[in-house]
Amino acid sequence: MFKLDNKIAVITGGGSGIGKAISILFGLQGATVCIIDINDESEMVVEHIRHTSGKAFFYKCNISSQEEVKNIVQEIIQQHAAIDILVNNAGVAHVGTAENTSAEDFERLINVNIKGVYNCLHEVLPFMKQKGGNILNMASVAALVGLNDRFAYSATKGAVIAMTLSVAKDFLAYNIRCNSISPGRVHTPFVDGFLAKNYPGKEAEMFDKLSKTQPIGRMGKPEEIAQLALYLCSEEASFITGCDYPIDGGFVKLNT
């Protein structure tokens, strides 16, 4: 079950955190993994996949640039002839309210979290229409409940869920499924960096405090998010489209 043999999977932001876990798992399950990322560290993920499971390729790209995305997608098509799976995982975060979020930061989040997803959809869908495919967008619980100091981030992730529904509706006739995942707090390098920057000397204390905001009592693991991504992109999920899946240790439903 959940095999991705002979599937070409494009994963944005596949070099770290959740994207890295998805890339490695998809490679283990037989997919040819095409990582689109702005960071060169993705090369190490590609080498790991090649040494442990199968085929992987790295394409350096700023997803907020439609021209760059267009060129990379064309390169992937030339090399692999198709794109069967698109995981729009790349994104950036920001801490702030509507009052203290700068115009520059707000625009940065829109360019990556919204325009970046649009750019990938816009360039991949014409090829995916030829034989169908699966699209998975990474949203967040920040789109589902009110969170302190997450104004811009919440706005962009709300847009991701809306785009998911729209794509699912518009491309049903082409055998294209589109779903999204809304993780709660997940222990990634971003969390460690955030704590080190904002709570120097109190990292362990704040990590414990943040962990306990999930009713289940801990943060999620990137690998746990990857398992859900694998299911939604597999043939076993062929009856699922237009859905958002919170994976949050009970945060949305059990905290309200």
**Spatial contact of 58 and 37, defined as CB atoms under 8 Å apart:** yes
C-alpha 176/C-alpha 183 separation (Å) is 23
Torsion 105-108-112-115 (CA) sign: positive
C-alpha 83/C-alpha 101 separation (Å) is 37
Catalytically annotated residue among 118, 153, 174, 231? 153
How many Cβ atoms from other residues are within 10 Å of residue 174's Cβ?
A: 13
> Is 118 marked active-site?
no
**Spatial contact of 9 and 233, defined as CB atoms under 8 Å apart:** yes
C-alpha 137/C-alpha 34 separation (Å) is 16
**Spatial contact of 244 and 179, defined as CB atoms under 8 Å apart:** yes
**Spatial contact of 169 and 242, defined as CB atoms under 8 Å apart:** yes
Among all residues, which ones are annotated catalytic? 153
